[in-house]
Structure 1
Amino acid sequence: MIVSTLSTEAVTTAELAPATFEPLLDTVEIAVLAPGADPAWTLSEVPGGLRMLRVEAPGSPVEIRLSAPLGDTAGYWHPKAGWSRTLVADWEGRSRVSLIDGLAAGCLYDYSGATLLAFAAADPVPEAALRFGVSEENDTHVVHLELPPSTTPHRILFVPRSPSVARAMRLLRGWYEKQTPAVMPVPEAARLPLYCTWYAFNQQVDATAVEQQAALAADMGFGTLILDDGWQRFGSGRGYAGVGDWLPDPDKFPCFATHVARVRQLGLRYMAWVAPLLLGPRADCYEQWASYAPALAKVPGAHVLDPRSPEVRSHVVRLCVRLVRDYGLDGLKVDFLDEAMAYAGDGRGDVGQALTLLLTELRTALLAERSDLLLELRQPYVGPGMAAFGNMLRSFDCPADSTANRVRTIDTALLAVGGVVHSDPLLWDTTAPAATAARQLIGALHSVPQVSVRLDALPEDHAEAVRFWLAQWRRLRPQLLDGTVEPGRPDDLYTLVQAGADGVNVVSVFSDRTVPVQPAVHRETVLINATAENRLVLEVQDEGAQVEAEIRDPSGRIIEQTRITLTPGLHNLPVPNMGLALIRKTA
């Protein structure tokens, strides 16, 4: 296939310079362009059932064009998709990625959920630009990758046609795991429910209030506490004009180290929020570092330190080590690293490579200080390239939005390597019914739940709901975090999620639909009803079995225990909205 060019400022991919396409894999075709060079490419099989594309064009930027027939295409997912996960026109689909901002990866899939094209950059550090979407002129779906000059071959992984997006991503994730020997260790505390102060207090935190919440959190089943924004000097007003010194506000925390020690004595690990690349004009150190921070941050009031400077990297490492050492912290919540993208594309060096140097130095220094260090990173800097640098990978901010938390945590988990995925802290109206609290907890079940409400303000039924769902989450952690997860199509927003391991299958249901179960195969099936109905319609897909059914309400109270025979076909099971059913095989 030959495409023609109509203008130098191409609106659609059909208007770009002509290129000759060749067969690549399944129904996907490829064309490779490199100005001033004669590019060569090969495709070979690599362990794990994947294919590796290698493109050589030394010293020249490279454009890789992929094209696939539309067929029965339903959507296109990529790590920065957000809510746009159906099909867009190629004049609309754009993405720029780097180590700290997504990954050059994508997956085209059809209405059955099967993949038509699944790929990911094997080397996720360099900055890259992507263009994608439906070519209206050619009736195809295209993906164009623009890669910077390299002295080594560009490597892109491809997955042959797969029955689901999740399965394709598992194969890619498995490859990254084997190729990343220095994954940051994941302490047990990173895999425990976490209490965060942000939505509960915003910046109005102090030692007394935090210690009160910590005592309640320890009793309710939390394992770690994060002190978020507001602990530092000038930490008020929702702006960042005062950041940079990273010293405790003496009015809020007269002796920060003593306060941290008191919380840790309750049995909780203690982490603090820091945004080490932000620099505000009110900080004492502003004059010293202003020349290293010429770009304004997107967040209000601050500039961004340029990590390409060795002096900046040393400064960031020193300040983070000082926080951990001086105050006895168990770890850090490192925020706003993606603000460094303000320097991307300015011709003065690759930001992703600079961040790799910074994070490598930071990891080495912090692990020397604490071998069990906790380090939280946040979307969009949670891709495979960050596996060596963080062990807690958090969903992007979505206050009170259980749907966004579900979608974002599952999106992150599709390509998460090493670290464990965390939800954005859960927030809900404490005057609403207990089902409201349960809804938020259920939305975060397939990740480590973080909670941020004032625990002392919870009505008793809300507190019961928190205790119950955290206890269920701990019991089902082998399935929810470590099991095989099949969430369905991305454009369906993961409204039926299955997670299984060790003969236990957890099925979370978020829309009114038939729920596939195999009671003869699984010794226990956990059905979570997050729909608007007070029942689930089961479709028994194996020979069936005699089971014990235990039904619980949103706060965990048992409302029915019975023995039933599940035969092949459809069954109506009364399960309250935001409740669950435990189905255990008896014969």
Structure 2
Amino acid sequence: MRVLGIFIAIISLCVHSASSIAQSNFQIDAEKIELIGGTRPFKSDLEIERLSVDRYQVFFRLHASAPSIPPEFALTFRFPKDKVNQLWNSQTWSNRSFFSLPSYDRAAADFSIVSGLTLNDQNQITFTSDDRFDSRYISTFVQEKNDTLIFGLGFFADNPPISQMQEYEVRILVDLRNIPFAEAVSDASKWRLNDLFQQAAIKKQNDDYPVYSTWYPMHRNIPLENIARELDSLKTFGFKSILVDDGWRSLVKMKVDTMYDYDENSLQTMHLFNEKRKEMGLKLYLWYSLPFMGGNPVITKKFAPRYIRYKAPMQIHVLDPRYPEVRNHLVSTYANFYESWPSDGFWFDFLNEFYPNAPTIICDDLGRDFIDTQLAVDQLMEGMNQRLQKINPGIFMGQEFASAGPDQAAGQSFLAGFVGINSAAVVREKMVNNRLLYGQHTPFMEIMGVHPRDKSEEVARKLQAILFGNPHLSFFTTTLPEDTKETIRFWLDYWKENRKILMESEFEPMQVANLYPIIKVANEAKIIYGLYADYNLSLPLVVKQPIDVINAKESLLISFVVNHDGSGYDYEMYNHMGQLVAQDHLKTKRKNTVEVEVPSGGFIRFLPDATAGR
């Protein structure tokens, strides 16, 4: 189907339904898409492609006879309000949104996916968009009007590109399938990021996890040489790599009258650490936050006032990547350092510091070749990749994707991490958002710190908050009690044993409006539930594969719902250290709900029925 011409009037949209259950009765066609605002001097071109049953791809194009400033306009479509009980957005709702439904919008992702879902988290409608600007100038909104929800996309209203254009195309995905909302969001993200996911799959190294970080010991001022002496014990935990926090740079002396020239003698501790980890067969990654400029007089004088902002608490400036000399300096410094001090790669946490989410210093243009900070950062990363990969084609360059939120570590200077059990809920929420948007390529990396006084049960529950992501842990082994060490070893072993199901199988978070207190992953071999709040969990009539139900709550009782009188289930029960504490048979009799006490931080495993599959 193809519609050509300028949209002059507003075309009303109604998505018709003959049934409140069968999503296949909904259809999207050109006459149901509403244009708000004029597009002159551009002419418009609309094309709709049906990808599969209840899944559509809309192409909207603008073309003008001469380069022109892009117009501000919006595309909207209507949806029955009674089909939707809650809303989910990967970005914060725009100021054009107004509705009364419960909603979630804390992910703070770089792009927007909006989903309307039922109370039991089934998708009713999910949509997203993509264009050559990575949707940078597209906003999404939802409005409520009587018995209708109006879903919309706004174009070029906020911070539009200054440059003129002659052609423009946007792709819009609309998914009406009645499937778990997590699947719809995941498919929308794949639709948008498919090429990047394929590239990430090629480069992905699965042998780097779990990761040990020096963040927390160094934060507690434990010398790096003391940490180095503990590397032998890290192998007993099954760590595969080490991430050295940016604090390593405080251990080395920089020649003050030079541009990042370090005193070789001061690198002795780092060299000893490096040799020790090589002996242990551990990979090494350095956190190197170069664009934060302190008091070095040479650098301060050379680049002043080419700073994008000043971070007052740390008394440091952040270099402005919109200047070519700044980007060249950053790329050259990393490359020169890597040639003289090779590791398995760098972790970069500085990219988000360049984005103008915080107030940006306004100064005269001293030769910027970019106006848009994000485009300048893209150019910086491209130059970094090219230069460092010439030295080592297999070098690790940090996360492939920008992590979604919410962020819980306000005020932390470099690494994102958490120590207290009270932070576990928001950390889990962040883990879920990144899994929804990026699947097994998740950039989620909240480092879990372990304090010597942590209760081992709470250590287990903190680990369970990151269990469905790639675990990064930080602690000083010497100071930890034995039960804490045993707890850490068990749950890291559990993650490695179940990695394929935890990271690559169907991922289904539940109760969106309550911040995902239940998580389910499943494949043909196993089912795993993470319970972070009270919930009535349904058991199947016949258990065909092991079902692990992890009690990540403080309370002990877990309620199970059975829909057949006299059902029976064989089970094993483990405490938070992985010790078997019970083996029994659960008989439901005539009860519809059965309550079982499961150790906090532990789990119950239902075993396959001997008759399953017969």
TM-score relative to the length of structure 2: 0.77
The one-letter code sitting in structure 2 at the alignment partner of 1:202 is: H
2:602 — aligned with what?
579
- Aligned pair in 2 of structure 1 residues 129, 438: CA closer, same or farther (>3 Å)? same
Answer whether contact 2:306 2:319 (CA < 8 A) is retained: yes
Residue 279 of structure 1 and its aligned partner are, at CA, apart by 2.9
Change over 3 Å in CA distance of 1:524–1:264 after alignment to 2: same
Give the one of 282, 287, 294 matched to 2:301: 287
Q: Which deviations, in whole Å up to 9, do the C-alpha atoms of 1:10-38 show, x marking residues without a partner? A: xxxxxxxx955435775985435355334
**Mean CA deviation greater in 561-570 or 36-45:** 561-570
1:478-489 aligned at under 5 Å gives the runs 478-489=500-511
Query: Which piece of structure 1 moves more, 491-500 or 115-124?
Result: 115-124
Q: Identity percentage over the alignment?
A: 18
Q: Output the CA distance in 1 between the equivalents of 2:252 and 2:38.
A: 49
Distance (Å, rounded) in 1 between the aligned partners of 2:464 and 2:506 = 18
User: CA offsets per residue over residues 456-503 of structure 1, 9 Å max, x none?
Assistant: 221111111101111111111111101101111322211111101232
Correspondent of 2:121 among 104, 113, 116: 113
Partner of 1:309: 323
- 2: CA distance, partners of 1:214 / 1:486: 37
What SS does the corresponding residue of 2:268 show, helix, strand or coil?
coil
User: Contact 2:527–2:546 at 8 Å: present in 1 too?
Assistant: yes
> What residue is the counterpart of 1:189 in the other structure?
207
1:284-320 Cα distance to aligned partner (Å, 9 max, x none)? 4232333543443587433333333343333333333
Distance 1:96 1:536, change over 3 A: closer
Check the 8 A contact 2:400/2:443 in 1, yes or no.
Answer: no
Alpha-carbon spacing, 1:246–1:266, altered in 2? closer, same or farther (3 Å): farther
Structure 1 residue 414: Cα displacement: 0.8
1:33 to 28, 37, 40: 37
Q: How does 1:381-396 map to 2 (within 5 A)?
A: 381=403
Structure with the higher fraction of residues in helix conformation:
2
How much does 1:78 deviate? 2.5
Match runs of 1:153-302 below 5 Å: 153-176=169-192, 178-180=194-196, 181-183=198-200, 185-190=203-208, 192-202=209-219, 204=221, 206-233=223-250, 253-282=267-296, 284-296=298-310, 300-302=314-316
TM-aligned CA distance change 1:245 to 1:520, over 3 Å: farther
* CA deviation string 1:245-264 (max 9, x = no partner): 66778797435344223223
Moved more, 155-164 or 172-181: 172-181
CA deviation map 1:150-190 (0-9, x unaligned): 53302222222443220101212333454334336111234
* TM-fit CA distance, 1:358: 2.5
| Match of residue 496 from structure 2 | 474
Larger mean CA deviation between 563-572 and 146-155 belongs to 563-572
Distance 2:520 2:455 in 1: 27
Structure 2 alignment gaps of length 5 or more: 1-8, 16-25, 363-368, 406-413
Tell me, in whole angstroms, the C-alpha distance in 2 between the residues paired with 1:19 and 1:281.
58
State the SS of the aligned residue for 2:533.
coil
CA contact under 8 A between 1:50 and 1:157: conserved in structure 2? yes
Supply the AA of the counterpart residue of 2:605: L
For residues 510 and 249 of structure 1, the distance between their equivalents in structure 2, rounded to whole angstroms, comes to 50
Give the direction of change, closer, same or farther, for the CA distance of 1:553–1:56 in structure 2 (3 Å limit).
Answer: same
Deviation of 1:442 (Å): 0.6
SS at match of 1:44: strand
User: 1:520–1:235: structure 2 CA closer, same or farther, 3 Å change rule?
Assistant: farther
Q: Secondary structure at the match of 1:208?
A: helix
Q: Report which of the two structures shows the higher radius of gyration computed on alpha carbons.
A: 2
Which position in structure 2 is the counterpart of 1:130?
139
TM-aligned CA deviation for residue 122 of structure 1:
2.6
1:493 aligns with 2:501: no
Kept after mapping to 1: 8 A contact 2:517/2:531: yes
- Separation of aligned partners in 1, 2:587 and 2:340: 61
Change (3 A) 1:204 1:327: farther
Counterpart of 1:334 in structure 2 is 348
Q: Which sits farther off after the overlay, 192-201 or 307-316? A: 307-316
Find the aligned partners of 1:417 and 1:319 in 2 and give their Cα distance: 33
Is the alpha carbon distance of 1:198 and 1:575 closer, same or farther for their aligned partners in structure 2, counting shifts above 3 Å? same
Question: Partner of 2:504: helix, strand, or coil?
Answer: coil
With over 3 angstroms needed to count, the CA separation of the structure-2 counterparts of 1:179 and 1:497, relative to structure 1, is same
The gaps in structure 1 that reach 5 residues or longer are: 1-17, 237-241, 384-393
CA positional deviation for 1:546: 6.5
Kindly indicate whether the alpha-carbon contact (under 8 Å) linking 1:89 and 1:133 is maintained by their aligned counterparts in 2. Answer: yes
Secondary structure of 1:230's match? helix
Q: 2:323 and 2:331 mapped to 1: Cα distance?
A: 13
SS of the equivalent of 1:56 reads strand
- Report how far residue 267 of structure 1 moved: 2.4
C-alpha RMSD over aligned residues: 4.1
Looking at structure 2, the residues matched to 289 and 417 of structure 1 have their Cα atoms a distance apart, in angstroms, of 40
Q: SS where residue 117 of structure 2 aligns?
A: strand
Q: Distance in 2 between matches of 1:113 and 1:283?
A: 56
1:403 aligns with 2:403: no
TM-score (norm 1): 0.80
The answer to whether the 8 Å contact 1:70/1:139 transfers is: yes
Cα drift, residue 372 of structure 1: 4.0
Bigger shift: 246-255 or 275-284? 246-255
SS at match of 2:320: coil
428-437 or 123-132: bigger deviation: 123-132
Paired with 2:145 and 2:416, the residues of 1 have a C-alpha distance of 33
TM-fit CA distance, 1:398 = 4.9
- Aligned pair 1:64/2:68, yes or no? no
Does the 8 Å contact 2:111/2:136 carry over to 1?
no
CA distance in 2, matches of 1:510, 1:519: 24
Once residues 522 and 62 of structure 1 are traced to their aligned partners in structure 2, the CA distance between those partners, rounded to angstroms, is 56
Q: How does 1:411-426 map to 2 (within 5 A)?
A: 411-416=433-438, 419-426=441-448
Deviations 1:73-126 (A, max 9, x none): 4433223459x9xx9659xx99999xx961132223232323343222334635
Amino acid at match of 1:571: V
107, 110, 128: which one pairs with 1:102? 110
> Helix, strand or coil for the counterpart of 2:371?
coil
Partner SS, residue 435 of structure 1: helix
Q: Distance in 2 between matches of 1:204 and 1:341?
A: 31
Q: Which amino acid aligns with 2:125?
A: L
Q: Which moved more, 1:180-189 or 1:247-256?
A: 247-256
Note the 1:38-57 alignment, pairs <5 A: 38-46=43-51, 50-57=55-62
Partner SS, residue 399 of structure 2: strand
Amino acid at match of 1:320: Y
> Secondary structure at the residue paired with 1:111?
coil
Equivalent position amino acid for 1:584 in 2: L
Contact 2:113 2:188 (C-alpha < 8 Å) held by counterparts: no
Q: Which deviates more, 210-219 or 369-378?
A: 369-378
